Chains A and B, each alone.
Chain A
Amino acid sequence: MRNNIPATSTVLNALLRADFTTQWRNRRSVVLVFLVPLIILMSWKGLVDKLGGAFVLSICITIGLTAIGLMGYTNSIARDRDKGIFQRLRVAPLSTWTIMVSRLTVQIVMILALIIAVFIVGFYVDKISLTPAGYVFGFTMGLVGSAVYLGLGQMIAGLIKNPETVSATTRLVYFAFIMIGMFGELGMLGTEVQAIVRWSPFGSVKRIVSDSLQPAHWTIQSTQALLATIGYAFVFSLLGIKWFRWNTK
């Protein structure tokens, strides 16, 4: 008698349960990922009238997406690859895409939770309210934007094998994105940097999220930013998948 291949749904169910449990047990680091955008959101309460509610929300969502994509996802796959957890999974009768789908599903749920948290804090603390279409469109563009950072994280994990170096690199990129992105976007680093930031992965994502929160303000530049976002996501993901190795040896 031979053993049968388990159904993909059974495999995914088992992987998702384990990955969500792992995420839950790491809830302290999850809280830290949420903390930075929410603190910025609360501390910028006085700037809402000047910058606009959509701008403030979009900056906070973009920072949150950067943290989840770069630090949460990337560091977890770099660690599990180094520890041989992926190798153990790969000798089981499952397709490798199920491992990544499960990991990405956890991150997508995290992203949705982050966007909801930003909307709730924005509404109750900063008194920012959007139209129902703005919330729905904002969710959608948040998810599209997250693909850029998940792809970038995949690319970093593909390029660098050592998990400590991956962690240091993602922190550096995260810090650079926040500082240059946020201050550059506001024009505090000069007009040239502002123009570069506007079309950078940070600026493009920030723009589509910001404009989607006010669907009436969606312009041709928003569409261009969306195309740039899709382009970044495509290139980063493609290179990330191409360079990624399941083991560090």
Chain B
Amino acid sequence: MNHQSHTPILEVSGLHVYYGNFHAVNDVSFTVNAGEIFGFLGPNGAGKTSTLSAVEGLLKPRSGNISVAGFDIHKQPLHARANMGVQLQATSFQPELTISEIIGLYAGIYGAAINHEQILSILRDIKLEDAAGKRFGQLSGGQQQRVSLVIATIHDPHLVLLDEPTTGLDPQSRRQLWERMEAIREKGHGVLLTTHSMEEAEAVCDRIAIIDHGRVVAIDTPEALVDHYRHDPEVISVSRKGKITLEDVFIGLTGRAIRS
């Protein structure tokens, strides 16, 4: 079911990010619409995390515009952040705090007034009711990701940024996380997802952008990308099973060489 409203919830245009003389993000533009899961794919060092960090307001781009729910991330950073939920690649919380205390902390920070009963109810929803008194480090990888996603969405944000959330998860945990992403989409919110998994991109993303060497090389639906590049010689040359997949398109566009 398509919940897309074509109302952009995130607009990135002409983004340039430099680290010294290194041009990490080069004229990147894209939008994420309400009710859409937008995948951001690229090899290591392609500029995914730099783009995401710029969207989160953690680094200042050389030029370009980023707006979240109509708020410019640099002119109105607090308004923009109030409308986005973030799950960082390596999320860490204070190791001394229990899960319910961490949720309470972030509920307070995002201005979501919730009491202890509501925290327990949230944990019940993600099948972690027994973890309320545990520390974050005592949870498994999948449980940690569920807690991180709950915290990222505790204030019901219009845009959710997920940086490789399923890395290292078992298939069950991954499926569960996909269902949670789809639930966010069904509420009419936008999701920006970075991933290395083509299977994940095909399974949950409505549209994807492939970024390489800091530039967006393709943006479309996964099906349209496969159709469009089906006869591309580079793509055909990397195809392994005779049938063109999204992974073939990805490798055809970004090359076979392993990136550091």
Contacts and interface: CB of A to CB of B under 8 A. Distances in A.
Contacts of B28: none
Contact of A93 (B95, B97, B110): B110
**In this complex, which of A6, A21, A26 has the most chain B Cβ atoms within 10 angstroms of its Cβ?**
A6
Contacts of B105: 14-15, 17-18
Contacts of A3: 69, 82-83, 110-111, 155-158
Interface in A55-109: 80, 83-85, 87-95
Contacts of A7: 111
B101 interface: yes
- Most chain B CB inside 10 Å of its own CB: which residue of A11, A13, A87: A87
Interface in A15-33: 15, 17-18, 21-22, 25-26
Contacts of A11: 108-109, 111
Q: Is the interface of A mostly helix, strand, loop or mixed?
A: helix
A10 B70 CA distance: 25
B111 A88 contact: no
A5 interface: yes
Contact of B92 (A2, A15, A88): A88
Chain B interface, >50% SS class = loop
Nearest to B81: A93
Nearest to A83: B92
Nearest to A246: B58
A90 B88 contact: no
B82 to A, nearest CB: 4
Interface string B100-112: 0110111111110
Interface of A: 2-7, 10-11, 13-15, 17-18, 21-22, 25-26, 80, 83-85, 87-95, 247
